[in-house]
Amino acid sequence: MFDSLFADGRQPVIGMVHLPALPGAPKYDGDREAIIETAERDARRLAAGGVDAIMVENFGDAPFYPDDVPKHVVASMTRATRAVVEETDVPVGVNVLRNDADAALSVAAAASGDFVRVNIHTGARVTDQGVIDGTAHETMRLRDRLDADVAVLADHDVKHSAPIAARGFSAESVADGVERGLADAVVVSGSGTGHETERSDLEHAVERRDANDLDTPILVGSGVTADTVAETLELADGVIVGTALKEDGDVGNPVSEARVRELVEAAQA
């Protein structure tokens, strides 16, 4: 179902459902049902506004586990993701922060999700959770074992992190994620949540993709707004949007259907 998002030259807008703090997280407020209600509400607004897909993320769980969340997080994510799947008729993805690809795949497979985002799929990055290694060798084998039709969106130069080695875009790191990591799409983002993605970074990613004769979609994963989405889609194959779709453009607020509709219409202009 993920491949259909790009059929006939489509450039999908993927909207974010940012979950409140889940049970066990420091900011959890004790109301499990409110988490599901929040997910369903934001999913409805995203779908009504015209997004092509939705991604569910445990955004409220800071400080994040580096790469192995507890079982109760997996359970809560599965419940919330399934609620979004049942609430809408668009493809649904999962991102388990900070970088638990096994959990994300497991949640997506169990909840009938269609794709996952993996922040560090190949290589290694320095993050606020310490050094995190990509585990593409485990992630892709798990997908086979689960017999899951789940696409893997792999970040390149992911936000809130820095490379250990100074490879940057000049080497083959974009191609590595696809040719050696077998990712189904590449995500390019800015330095942090809501931060604009540098056009030069997007250009370089597209150049490296094309230079290696790959047909893998490249999506922009942060900082896209209604004012910039059309220009972004001159190069990118799609966008992942969270902050700009919230009331008053504040990432902590509920999704605004009006802001979703505005951005989707700008993307289609």
pLDDT tens digits, 78-123:
999 999 999 999 999 999 999 999 999 999 999 999 999 999 998 8
How large is the average pLDDT for residues 52-81?
97
Q: What is the pTM of this model?
A: 0.93
Residue 269 pLDDT level (bands cut at 50, 70, 90) = confident
| pLDDT at residue 132, as a whole number | 87
Tell me the average pLDDT of the chain: 92
Q: Both tokens of residue 175? A: 């191609």
Who has greater pLDDT, 190 or 114? 114
Domains of the chain, earliest start first: 1-268 (3.20.20.70)
| Residue 69 vs residues 23, 101, 104, 138: alpha-carbon distances, Å | 12, 10, 10, 16
Q: Estimate the share of the chain in helix, then strand, then coil, as percent rounded to the nearest 5.
A: 40, 20, 40
CA distance linking residue 219 with residue 240, whole number of Å: 7
Q: Fill in the amino acid letter for 167.
A: R
Residue 69 pLDDT level (bands cut at 50, 70, 90) = very high
| pLDDT at residue 95, as a whole number | 98
| pLDDT at residue 159, as a whole number | 62
| pLDDT at residue 177, as a whole number | 83
Helix axes 71-87, 101-111, angle to 10 degrees: 40
Q: Both tokens of residue 21? A: 């703090």
Find the range with the poorest average confidence among 27-41, 110-124, 153-167, 246-260: 153-167
pLDDT tens digits, 114-172:
999 999 998 888 888 888 898 999 999 999 999 999 999 999 877 677 777 665 444 45
Find the range with the poorest average confidence among 55-59, 126-130, 191-195: 191-195
Percentage of the residues of the chain whose pLDDT score is greater than 70: 94
CA distance linking residue 129 with residue 49, whole number of Å: 35
| pLDDT at residue 130, as a whole number | 82
